Amino acid sequence: MAGVLHVVATPIGNLGDLSERARETLASADLVVAEDTRRTGKLLASLGIEARMRSMFEGNERRRTAEVLAVLRDGQTVALVSDGGTPLVSDPGYPLVRACIDEGIEVRVVPGPSAAIAALVVSGFPTDRFVFEGFLPRTAGDRRARLAALTDEPRTVVLYESPRRLATLLGELAAIDADRGVAVCRELTKLHEEVRRGSVAELRAMLGEAPVKGEVVVVLEGRSADVPADVDAAVAQARDLVADGARKREAAHRVAERTGVPANAIYRALVPERAG
């Protein structure tokens, strides 16, 4: 009888976020497959767990998948982890999971931390509909094509980005729509956790051109295709809040929550007042 593959979420920063079920699964596994065995080894050591490990990363994923399948066919239990968060989400593991499903080998998930979901819920943007884009392509043409495709995306967009390329990304987004709402989430759950919110132009000016430190998730506000007829009334409410001292972006979101009018539409109506 074949074994079971457990896809195990691990902390993205704070070790206290590891669930008891995840700890028990890692402790009982015959084999732990890790993106980086050195990093996972430190996690296991902190938990007092000794485990047989094998690495699985982009360079050896095809070969390692075949090896792990052999272990599972032999009836052993395997735990798959990434360097942090939920495996397969912009991390290795999909070919292994797909191969297990194709062979009828049971796959179970031990849910837990995810940088994408953490950033989404803390961004302040709608969470009922969203799209995860992972890392954008590095080549200029493919990158421009992906950004162009997101121009009219009505859902909240979650992106991963290298801290070295954050300034470049904000510049690219500014060229498309400088007033689009964005949240830059850095080092989530860690000691120096930081979330900055505002328009693309505001965050670009705030963060400058220097590379930031730590892992970064960028959440982009969706663009509404249809603006309700009562937008004028919503904008009037937002103007009252601005007159009382609220920032335009804050006022737009507060009124959007009350009225259902998209925050982006309200904010765009308020922007011309900058010149007045």
What's the topology of domain 116-220? 3.30.950
* Gap between the Cα atoms of 258 and 235, Å rounded: 12
Task: Please report where in the chains the tokens 């505002």 appear, as a residue.
Answer: 198
Under-70 pLDDT residues of the chain? 224-229, 272-276
* Residue-wise pLDDT tens digits, 10-46: 999 999 999 999 999 999 999 999 999 999 999 999 9
pLDDT of amino acid 264: 82
Contact assessment for residue 270 and residue 239, using Cβ atoms and an 8 Å cutoff: yes
Task: Specify whether domain 4-113 bears CATH 3.40.1010.10.
Answer: yes
pLDDT of amino acid 272: 64
Q: Is the whole-model pTM more than 0.75?
A: yes
The pairing of beta strand 181-186 with beta strand 194-199: antiparallel
pLDDT of amino acid 112: 97
In the chain, the DSSP E strands lie at 4-8, 31-34, 53-55, 78-81, 106-110, 130-135, 156-161, 181-186, 194-199, 216-220
pLDDT of amino acid 276: 36
* Residue-wise pLDDT tens digits, 151-169: 888 999 999 999 999 999 9
pLDDT of amino acid 192: 93
Residue 128 has which token pair?
Answer: 């009922």
pLDDT of amino acid 267: 86
Domain boundaries of the chain, sorted by first residue: 4-113, 116-220, 231-275
pLDDT of amino acid 125: 95
* Gap between the Cα atoms of 244 and 252, Å rounded: 13
User: Any idea what the Cα angle at residue 116 is, between residues 17 and 179, rounded to 5°?
Assistant: 135
